[in-house]
């Protein structure tokens, strides 16, 4: 929005801006903010930032060394569409106020370093990313866990389980399980809500290519945004989630990006289209398989080789692995194909060499976009640097293969713990260019084990009562 600090200050002073919002993303992908009265913001504020207690942010510094600053990127500014008072929002980078160096655990800094490593490698100068984030729209969500009870309850006016419910009256038009792909209204009851989300995104400068109902019942949706460079796309994904959630809330709905909120139906994925360019030319276009270049094949070879490690960031929750099972479009087998959507990597059919790209299909939208995009880029670059052969393509339905043939295809991890073990055993490619650090890998694995895997392992599951109560 602005090209300089002076331009930002002038806009704030001349356009009745009431407040300025500083926002940053924590290690695990949650957007955080502080709002400052506009009269308190001057050139120095935008240049050196504001101090805060970093020890209060999950996974960041200890209390004895907790002073940090968030410094705004004035080129990232936008007007918040949901605040009543006119508010300018800045994406911020986290900086050590003593050394003035950017913080290694700041996800936005990690993404910036990944892009810088791409340029330094000489392989390319731009990584384009186009994510397809899916989400569920619900009308009612309740859950609780105590010593002697635990439950969750989800409901949607589209849910097929409500065909027999007295809705006063029940007008039906509810998608079946796995039957929600592309119906028109009235079966697609969320069209106008998605359109409102798109309208707000477009006001913010996000280029939306399409939106539609997804496969599952109960309001599963997808809004596709145009590809752009890696760091900007990660910023836009934070805005995307923010818009989707807030538009849903003001319409008395709620949204989740959980990978698998509904048993027996499709989950939420975030297919990530990606390509590398150099000097304005597409590096992935060539005369190889499906029109790919040798560099593109090596890139996807790196993705396949390091997929289990990548999953620690692209599929970062215990719930993520309830989606990565056969039969629900989420690929759990590590293969590539030009048309096969059961493969972990698909090569879209395109007519223009400039559109040549790969689509990594296993990530889900609970991922921190800065870390997910960065780890995939680093794995792909490792593939190019070491000329990693991806093997032969698999142009068959993976789920129809005989067990012997299927056993020869490597699989995605089946649990978050397995992906964390892979991360600890295979992360050298991430350390190049100081993009990720050993500290990040250690804190990520420790946090996930102690705050997500362990608490879940200690609690009985409702289905265990069905299986074991009468033993």
**Is 104 marked active-site?**
no
Known binding residue 449? Answer is no
Catalytic-role residue among 245, 271, 356, 357: 271
Q: How far apart are CA 242 and CA 323, in angstroms?
A: 23
Catalytic-role residue among 6, 40, 43, 53: 53
Q: How far apart are CA 376 and CA 373, in angstroms?
A: 5
207's tokens: 């280029």
Known binding residue 40? Answer is no
Catalytic-role residue among 214, 235, 295, 364: 214
**Is 7 marked active-site?**
no
Known binding residue 266? Answer is yes
**Is 105 marked active-site?**
no
Known binding residue 323? Answer is yes
Q: How far apart are CA 231 and CA 269, in angstroms?
A: 20
Question: Would you say 59 and 443 are in contact if contact means Cβ atoms under 8 Å apart?
Answer: yes
Known binding residue 209? Answer is yes
**Is 359 marked active-site?**
yes
**Is 361 marked active-site?**
yes
Known binding residue 267? Answer is yes
Catalytic-role residue among 21, 80, 134, 295: 134
Q: How far apart are CA 343 and CA 394, in angstroms?
A: 8
Catalytic-role residue among 80, 235, 265, 359: 359
Known binding residue 385? Answer is no
**Is 464 marked active-site?**
no
Known binding residue 214? Answer is yes
Known binding residue 212? Answer is no
Known binding residue 260? Answer is no
**Is 213 marked active-site?**
no
Q: How far apart are CA 303 and CA 377, in angstroms?
A: 8
Known binding residue 134? Answer is yes
Q: What is the separation of C-alpha 22 from the centre of its chain, rounded to a whole number of angstroms?
A: 21
Catalytic-role residue among 341, 428, 442, 446: 341
Residue 409: Cβ-neighbour burial (10 angstroms; 0-12, 13-18, 19+): middle
Known binding residue 192? Answer is no
Known binding residue 354? Answer is yes
DSSP 281-321: EETTBSSSGGGB-HHHHHHHHHHHHTHHHHHHHHS-SGGGG
DSSP 8-class letter at 384: H
Catalytic residue positions, numbered: 53, 132, 134, 214, 222, 271, 341, 359, 361
Residues making up the annotated binding site are 132, 134, 209, 214, 222, 266-267, 271, 273-275, 323, 329, 341, 354, 359, 361
Residues making up the annotated binding site for Mg(2+) are 132, 134, 214, 222, 271, 359
Residues making up the annotated binding site for L-glutamate are 266-267, 323, 329, 341, 361
Residues making up the annotated binding site for ATP are 209, 273-275, 341, 354
């Amino acid at each position: 929005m602005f090209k300089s600090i002076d331009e930002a200050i002038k806009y704030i002073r001349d356009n009745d801006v009431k407040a300025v919002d500083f926002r940053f993303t924590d290690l695990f992908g949650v957007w955080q903010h502080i709002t400052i009265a506009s009269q308190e913001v001057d050139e120095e504020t935008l240049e050196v930032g504001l101090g805060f207690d970093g020890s209060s942010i999950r996974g960041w510094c200890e209390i004895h060394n907790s002073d940090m600053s968030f410094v705004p990127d004035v080129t990232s500014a936008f007007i918040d569409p949901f605040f009543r008072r006119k508010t300018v929002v800045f994406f911020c980078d986290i900086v050590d106020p003593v050394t003035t160096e950017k913080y290694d655990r700041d996800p936005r800094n990690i993404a910036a370093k990944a892009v810088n490593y791409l340029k330094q490698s000489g392989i390319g100068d731009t990584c384009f990313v186009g994510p397809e984030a899916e989400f569920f729209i619900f009308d009612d969500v309740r859950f609780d866990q105590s010593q002697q009870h635990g439950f969750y309850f989800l409901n949607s006016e589209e849910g097929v389980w409500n065909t027999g419910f007295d809705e006063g009256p029940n007008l039906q038009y509810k998608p079946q399980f796995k039957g929600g792909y592309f119906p028109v209204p009235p079966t697609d009851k969320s069209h106008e809500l998605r359109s409102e989300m798109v309208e707000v995104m477009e006001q913010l400068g996000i280029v939306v290519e399409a939106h539609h109902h997804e496969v599952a019942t109960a309001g599963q949706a997808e809004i596709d945004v145009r590809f752009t460079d890696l760091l900007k796309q990660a910023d836009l994904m934070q805005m995307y989630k923010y818009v989707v959630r807030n538009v849903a809330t003001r319409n008395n709905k709620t949204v989740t990006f959980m990978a698998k909120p509904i048993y027996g139906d499709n989950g939420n994925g975030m297919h990530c289209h990606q390509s590398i360019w150099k000097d304005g030319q597409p590096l992935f276009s060539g005369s190889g398989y499906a029109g790919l270049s040798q560099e593109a094949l090596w890139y996807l070879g790196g993705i396949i080789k390091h997929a289990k490690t990548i999953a620690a960031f692209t599929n970062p929750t215990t719930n993520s692995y309830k989606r990565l099972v056969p039969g629900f479009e989420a690929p759990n087998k590590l293969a590539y194909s030009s048309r096969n959507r059961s493969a972990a990597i698909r090569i879209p059919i395109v007519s223009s060499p400039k559109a040549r790209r790969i689509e990594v299909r296993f990530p889900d939208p609970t991922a921190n976009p800065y870390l997910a995009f960065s780890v995939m880029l680093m794995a792909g670059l490792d593939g190019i640097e070491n000329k990693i052969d991806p093997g032969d393509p698999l142009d068959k339905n993976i789920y129809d293969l005989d067990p012997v043939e299927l056993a020869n295809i490597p699989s995605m991890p089946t649990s978050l713990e397995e992906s964390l073990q892979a991360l600890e055993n295979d992360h050298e490619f991430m350390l190049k260019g100081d993009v990720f650090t050993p500290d990040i890998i250690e804190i990520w694995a420790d946090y996930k084990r102690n705050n997500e895997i362990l608490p879940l392992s200690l609690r009985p599951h409702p289905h265990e009562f069905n299986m074991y109560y009468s033993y």
